[in-house]
Amino acid sequence: MRNATITGWGKCMPPATLTNDDIATFLDTDDEWITSRTGIRERRISHLSLEEMGALAAHRALACADLAPDALDLIVFGTCSFDQQVPNSASGVQKRIGAVNAGAMDVNTACTSYLYGLTSAAAMISQGVVNNALVIGGELISPLMDWTDRGVAVLFGDGCAATVLQATDRNEGLRASKLGCYGEVREILLVHGMGQRYANRGWYNGDTQWVFEGQEIFKRAVVGMSQACQDVLEQCGMGPDDVDLVVPHQANLRIIEAVIKRSGLSMDRCFVNVQRYGNMSAATVPVALVEALEEGRIKPGANILLTGFGGGLTWSAQLLRWGERVTPLHETHIEMPPCEQTALQMVEGYLAAKRGSGESAPE
Ligand code: UT7
């Protein structure tokens, strides 16, 4: 049996931090509302491009696995906030890290993009199409955020992480996946202002307006993720008690708690870092996975349940059996370029550009 197992991991978290109090300086909101409704206390605002974040996370993951860039056969970049549509983000990372033998593809299923990418790359490894893959989940949301809308601006943040996935004959790696989508309600999470629907309409690309039916998304997210978790556990003949750690999409602490309860799982065995970063869309699960390893929450041979939901409304779960190694083999000495501005200064720049545009969504 040819399995696909994670042998390398690395994150790139931009340092500039935007607190709830920072947001309250330009929006009618407060720390108490944001913390009690979402669990979020702060988020990062990136001074790097998405591809720069992806490349740094990739260098760190490759060093962790002690794998040379030219040994990669495939790069999958899960994102919905690419620097540009053509050429894609994965090719940008391929060039930056010198992965000259790797194919390069982007996957966009919004917040589940890393998870869909992981399943895709693992399937290619199992089939013998590739041996060594890099799966990245990253988002640069801050320039695309509508910073005048308190209903969404408080929820999101920037970040990135990457994992190296390699073929193995050992009984470890990705054991089961479930992918799903509630396409019939896809309009309840919709971002106007990104894509060719807006071309030639005098719309500045990236000047967004978000349709965001929070409570409806909340309900669907809980049902979809719980169903996916149950499905992968059944595929493996396992029950909730067999799960050593759940690493869920970090959109809202209340959503995580509801999924854990509905699935008969335990919050003691669930990794949560939404308070530090908010919803980083495709980056949440891989960043959480990296931090769970850094904090010693993943033991050799552990059963890890990943789950997420996002625009589409896509949802998924993946069950991993971790290998023997839970520490990096090496570290890279490549450093992040310094950040010259505060998070609030960067956001005030986006806000000023938004206020200057004065556009509205097409019918
Ligand atoms: O990865 C996919 C991303 N999507 C999600 O994760 C969305 C899932 N949904 C949620 O996380 C929650 O529904 C929210 C956090 C978005 C909202 O929480 P809620 O408990 O469902 O609040 P609500 O939408 O019912 O709003 C309650 C009140 C409203 O005021 P009124 O109409 O009751 O007077 C809002 O206008 O809270 C108001 N409100 C705010 N107040 C202060 C909305 N946003 C804010 C804010 N600060 N930032």
Residue pair 308/249 in contact by the 8 Å Cβ criterion: yes
Instruction: From 254, 292, 251, select the one nearest 111 (Cα to Cα).
Output: 251
Residue 360's pLDDT is 53
In angstroms, the Cα distances linking 244 to 171, 211, 299, 321 are 17, 37, 9, 10
Q: Which two three-digit tokens encode residue 38?
A: 């979402």
21-37 exposure pattern, b = at least 16 Cβ within 10 A, e = fewer: ebbbeebebebeebeee
Backbone angles phi, psi at 105, to 5 degrees: -140, 145
Contacts of 36 by beta carbon, 8 Å cutoff, 6+ apart: none
Q: What is the pLDDT of residue 362?
A: 46
**Token pair 């607190």 is at which residue?**
19
Residue of 218, 223, 255 to test ligand 1 pocket, by largest number of atoms within 8 Å of CB = 218
In contact, 159 and 16? CB cutoff 8 Å: no
**How far is residue 135 CA from its own chain's centroid?**
11
pLDDT of residue 359: 53
Residues acting as catalytic residues: 111, 249, 279
Give me ligand 1 centre to Cα 151, in Å: 6
218 lines ligand 1 (CB under 6 A): yes
Is the Cα dihedral 56, 41, 309, 172 positive or negative?
positive
Question: What distance separates the 2 farthest-apart alpha carbons in the chain?
Answer: 58
Per-residue pLDDT, 206 = 78
Which residues are CB-contacts of 227 (< 8 A; sequence separation ≥ 6)?
Answer: 178, 180, 315
Residues of the chain where predicted confidence (pLDDT) is lower than 70: 357-363
- H/E segment holding residue 25: none
- The full length of the chain comes to 363
The finding on whether 35 has its CB within 6 A of some atom of ligand 1 is: no
214 Cα–ligand 1 center, Å: 6
Assigned CATH for 3-353: 3.40.47.10
> Residue 170: which of 305, 323, 64, 319 has the closest Cα?
323
Which residue has the CA at smallest separation from atom 7 of ligand 1? 214
Distance of CA 139 from the midpoint of ligand 1 (Å): 22
